[in-house]
Structure 1
């Protein structure tokens, strides 16, 4: 079955009613509740007088492998944090995540120094943070007891709470500092530890951890320490991260977003469209609404679906992480986010058709110390350098 066929055959339910009719999703919800109870996330109590319980909902996600095959059905219980009141249910919420430039730079160093690059995942990371406030939540849908009016008093953070990410990040940061790691002042998600000439590096993106360095000893000590503190999953050599596929060869490390690109093509209904050779049409001038008003132009109406345009351009901007060839086009289109017109929408769709001409194109981080960046095309799982260098 093709990758696009898998995408269209696997549907994620939008409601609990839809999910409850499928045994895979029922099992996923039960697994989630079991994990929460084993983690002592809450205790079931009567709602105290004068207190309000926030709601909860189920979010369903099909996790796919790099080849598009289903890896698992994931049901996540999410608190309706938008009902929380500042100063009562939460206080501070800020939590850093790794900057994308830090991710690419780290992988560039890995390629040039021939370091190993590993990935670890924290199981139910947001549940690890300690909750300081008294927060009450309604019982999860599908797990209420008939005739009782019980609620969950949260003892630990839960996905959806405004402070959940911050509490988890603080706990992980404290753990890393306690074993001798130093936090970068440029990117608070980057930690390093040195022992003479040896170095270990860990980069945090919420619950995804990238680990590298020139010392197998320091790396293993780090993994062991994390395993002793949290429920971790060692994913081995990094292959897929934030929608980016990582492929290694003697030439270096290729970053591409083929899966993301194919999903974009499918979602825009352009799977059967004819590809084009350039992101933007030559000599076409995109104008603003204000310009049209000054010149009396009426043939290019404002879009009704402004959100759809903003979403599409946002996805194109994310694709520029590994596709600098569409950076200019994406930046041009982003200038019309507030009042997009039909011509802007058609131009954005043209970029998608350009991507369709080679969805597996990516960025090669060279193994040479010069750190030359080159375009590369993925064909049958191999790295094929092209002549276009950066």
Structure 2
């Protein structure tokens, strides 16, 4: 749809919010405050400091109020997504992205946040090129691609594959995770744990964040490996390495979104879950399961 975008960062976000109650703290060591009656003194907080247990909630309420007074309403699906006719605002703590088909609507909102009756201290970072570690590349036809090359590089570094040049020139299909990885709790009677060269759970966590954002092509295999995070064996370690080797030859890949006015929905069923979970009978292929229920 060739939408315009802008990224803003709220400077010292938490202290911008008001405290809803009186909060007192002990005087820090090294600071001496004398009192006439000799009784110990306390300090009263004037700002919503980072580290307060209610700090995040105070900032959330403050930002929500500021956006709603400017005509935006939180989405029923995601309370951090605010919508207004022709304008969408997505917040993540002190990071915020604005998207609209009208550049003027974006500029007016940013100006209102900076100079309105209830001002916010913020930095205008211009057109979106990165958000939460996800790189966004824009193309002239209005399409854009999201990638996570830095996270991919960190995963390869964790697995020790960034130093292995053997796989960089190889793009054979045997590296693609197209064949289903069927893992067991004790594969082939294997009793040995993985080698502890790297943290298995850390690798699974990083791969999960990667596949959930920009690399759905590895999602099935990451989920298989995640099932054995409590007690991984050497076979599970080799499966993680296999995924890493595939990423090594495709670290720049991502998802491309193209302008399209169609609203069709395509669903693929019968993914052979029986093969994945070693069940006797295959799952039914005449229905699709979603997070909100099942539909025929």
The TM-score by the shorter chain falls in which range? 0.7 to 0.9
Gaps of 5+ in 2: 34-39, 265-296
- How far residue 150 of structure 1 moved from its aligned partner, in angstroms, is 8.8
Q: Give the match's secondary structure for 1:210.
A: strand
On the 8 A contact 2:4/2:102 being kept in 1, the answer is: no
Deviations 1:238-267 (A, max 9, x none): 001111000000341000001111122223
Pair member with larger Rg: 2
Q: Please, what TM-score do these two structures have when normalized by structure 2?
A: 0.74
Please state if 1:348 is matched with 2:240.
yes
Q: Which deviates more, 322-331 or 361-370?
A: 361-370
Q: Distance in 1 between matches of 2:26 and 2:255?
A: 45
Q: Distance in 1 between matches of 2:197 and 2:44?
A: 41
Identify the residue that residue 173 of structure 1 maps to in structure 2.
64
**For this pair of structures, how many residues does the alignment match?**
246
Q: 1:329 aligns with which of 216, 221, 225?
A: 221
Q: Distance in 2 between matches of 1:343 and 1:281?
A: 18
On the 8 A contact 1:137/1:154 being kept in 2, the answer is: no
Q: Please, what TM-score do these two structures have when normalized by structure 1?
A: 0.57
Please state if 1:339 is matched with 2:231.
yes
Deviations 1:267-313 (A, max 9, x none): 33221123375354957642114xx6xx8x2x332348699211110
Identify the residue that residue 232 of structure 1 maps to in structure 2.
122
Please state if 1:286 is matched with 2:286.
no
- How far residue 174 of structure 1 moved from its aligned partner, in angstroms, is 0.5
On the 8 A contact 2:181/2:224 being kept in 1, the answer is: no
- How far residue 327 of structure 1 moved from its aligned partner, in angstroms, is 0.9
Identify the residue that residue 140 of structure 2 maps to in structure 1.
250
Task: Indicate the structure with greater strand content.
Answer: 1
Q: Distance in 2 between matches of 1:256 and 1:137?
A: 47
Identify the residue that residue 222 of structure 1 maps to in structure 2.
109
Q: 1:202 aligns with which of 89, 99, 108?
A: 89
Please state if 1:365 is matched with 2:253.
no
Alignment RMSD (CA, Å): 2.9
Q: Distance in 1 between matches of 2:128 and 2:236?
A: 37
Q: Distance in 2 between matches of 1:267 and 1:367?
A: 37
On the 8 A contact 2:159/2:198 being kept in 1, the answer is: no
Q: Distance in 2 between matches of 1:335 and 1:235?
A: 40
